[in-house]
Amino acid sequence: MSLNSKNLGQDNHPKQSISIDVNVNAIETMLINGIDQISNYQKKNPDIYGDAIISNLQKKKKLIYNINKHEEIFINNQKNNLIKIFKYLKFRYKFYLCGIKKIDLGHPPYVLIEPVSTCNLRCPFCFQTDKSFTKKPFMGVMNLDLFKKIVAELNNLEVGAVTMGSRGEPTLHKNLDEMLSFLSKQENIFEIKINTNASFLNEKLCHTVLKNNVTQIVISADHYIKEDYERLRLGANFEKIISNVDLLYNIRAKYYPNSVTEIRITGIDNERNLDRKKFHDFWIKRSDHVAAGYPVERWNTYENTPHEDINDPCDYIWDRMYIWFDGKVNPCDADYKSYLSYGNVKDNTIKEIWDGEKLKKLRDQHLSNNRNKIVPCDRCGTSFCK
Ligand code: SF4
């Protein structure tokens, strides 16, 4: 297996897949073989994105954009459900384009919902170490009815991907099972992802994740050596986390042979000296996909020195929305204290908030080279320059 890294994200702080090759040819062949079926579907559900994908397949025998490992795993897990795969590719293509081309799709294609804002760990690179943050009004738990209201609207808007998690550890929510069950019943949400530190990954939670067809569980684990891991994941026990991840891996193998759940290990190379091969070899035995990246300047975002060299418009204000536990809407979690909040789903619909003046103004500022006049956009360190 080669050690080529493939860029998973669109910003310059992506998690890089380690030692992974994507078999694009197999996917392209499957799509070309099924082109009549796909074209018939597209005729009944026309849009420019699907048309472009089909046209490229017909003329160049290729997908119109480079798919990554995560997309490959998702597609392979769909067991040749060609129309679902095509709808998924349309969604991913739109998601990819709206960020880099700054296209307003009329709704966020991707939404991150925060079940809780608290976390049981205190990783040194994370804003959970900011004591002015880990108290009221920032800490709290999402009400189940609010969650369902949000998800129902996301489905109506055809938001293609939802992640559970943002500032806190989502598995701390006592109704996570019901939340995932509700989420998994939505027709238009393709990807359901959970970000977790795996501290609470017991048998019950493993079944909750697997039976509700979570498409990706992303486990934050920053090292393969106990001492380093426990220094970086302050409060976690290395052996316990390994045993929890093994439990998930083994339950999936034993009880869910047709599972659609990708298990991904993600590391933050905080000290920029992680041996990626050793990290990969350690974790790939108990997962499908191992990635590592460098930390974005997160803690303390607000006190960072402004980056004079970074002033490119931020993709996040076109390609995603964060919804905190209390309904507050934000463009990112680098701004974990919500200086940039542009609404609250308790007061307005998601569509109204997305179309609202506050977000429009933020986009205009970014597009007119004035990102560097906004705190914390001027100092978060996120850059999308290609
Ligand atoms: S702080 Fe501004 S520039 Fe940075 S990630 Fe958030 S929205 Fe984008």
Give CA torsion, residues 160, 220, 278, 13, to 10 deg: 60
What's the whole-number mean pLDDT along residues 247-261? Answer: 96
| Ligand 1 pocket residue status of 335, Cβ below 6 Å | yes
> What was the pLDDT predicted at 355?
98
Residue type, 199: S
Which of the four pLDDT bands, split at 50, 70 and 90, describes residue 17?
low
What confidence score (pLDDT) does residue 10 get? 32
For residues 278 and 160, give the distance between their C-alpha atoms in angstroms, rounded to a whole number. Answer: 34
Q: Please identify, by atom number, the ligand 1 atom nearest to the C-alpha of residue 335.
A: 1
Label residue 16 by pLDDT band (50, 70, 90). low
Mean of the per-residue pLDDT values for the chain? 92
* Backbone phi, psi, residue 376, to 5°: -105, 15
pLDDT at 62: 96
pLDDT of residue 69: 85
- Distance (angstroms) between ligand 1 centre and the Cα of 252 equals 37
What average pLDDT score do residues 164-193 get? 96
The residue contributing the CA closest to ligand 1 atom 2 is: 377
Instruction: Tell me which of 15-29, 225-239, 293-307, 310-324 is least confident.
Output: 15-29
Length of the chain: 386
pLDDT, position 139: 98
Instruction: Please tell me the distance between residue 377's alpha carbon and the centre of ligand 1 in angstroms.
Output: 5
pLDDT tier at 272, thresholds 50, 70, 90 = confident
376 CB within 6 A, ligand 1: yes
Could you tell me if the CB of 350 is within 6 A of ligand 1?
no
Residue 161 is inside which H or E element, if any?
Answer: strand 161-164
Section 198-216 average pLDDT: 97
Tens of pLDDT, residue by residue over 274-324, are: 999 999 999 999 999 999 988 776 678 999 999 988 999 999 999 999 999
List the single range of 67-76, 150-159, 183-192, 217-226 with lowest mean pLDDT.
Answer: 67-76
Q: Which residues contact 58 (CB under 8 A, 6 or more apart)?
A: 35
How many angstroms does the Cα of residue 153 sit away from the middle of ligand 1? 25
Per-residue pLDDT, 269:
84
pLDDT band at 174; cut points 50, 70, 90:
very high
Residue minimizing CA distance to atom 4 of ligand 1: 377
- Checking if the pLDDT of 371 tops 80, the result is yes
Pocket test for ligand 1, best of 300, 314, 364, 365 (most atoms within 8 A of CB): 314
Distance 23 CA to ligand 1 centre (A): 33
Residue 9 pLDDT more than 60?
A: no
The pLDDT-based confidence of 157 (bands split at 50, 70, 90) is: very high
CA of 307: how far to CAs of 159, 271, 296, 381, in Å? 33, 20, 12, 7
**382 touches ligand 1 (CB under 6 Å):** yes
For residue 383, what pLDDT band results from cuts at 50, 70 and 90? confident
Cβ(68)–Cβ(96) below 8 Å? no
Ligand 1 neighbourhood includes 331 CB (under 6 angstroms) = yes
Across residues 123-129, what is the average pLDDT?
90
Q: Which of 335, 339, 361, 383 has most ligand 1 atoms within 8 Å of CB, for mutation? A: 335
User: Residue with the nearest Cα to atom 7 of ligand 1?
Assistant: 331
Q: Which two tokens stand for residue 5?
A: 């890294």
* Average pLDDT score over residue span 140-144: 98
Mutate to test the pocket of ligand 1, among 167, 377, 379, 383 (most ligand atoms within 8 A of CB): 377
C-alpha 7 to ligand 1 mean position (Å): 20
Check residue 295 and give its pLDDT.
75
pTM of the complete model beyond 0.75 = yes
Q: Ligand 1, atom 8: nearest CA belongs to which residue? A: 314
At residue 259 the predicted structure's pLDDT band, cuts being 50, 70 and 90, is very high
Would the pLDDT of 8 be above 80?
A: no
pLDDT at 266 over 60: yes
What local confidence, expressed as pLDDT, does residue 125 receive? 85
Instruction: State in Å: Cα 314 to ligand 1 middle.
Output: 6
pLDDT tens per residue across span 58-107: 999 999 999 988 899 899 988 779 999 999 999 999 999 999 999 999 99
For range 182-202, the mean pLDDT: 96
**Nearest to 164, CA basis, from 108, 114, 199, 205:** 114
Q: Could you tell me if the CB of 319 is within 6 A of ligand 1? A: no
159 alpha carbon – ligand 1 mean position (Å)? 21
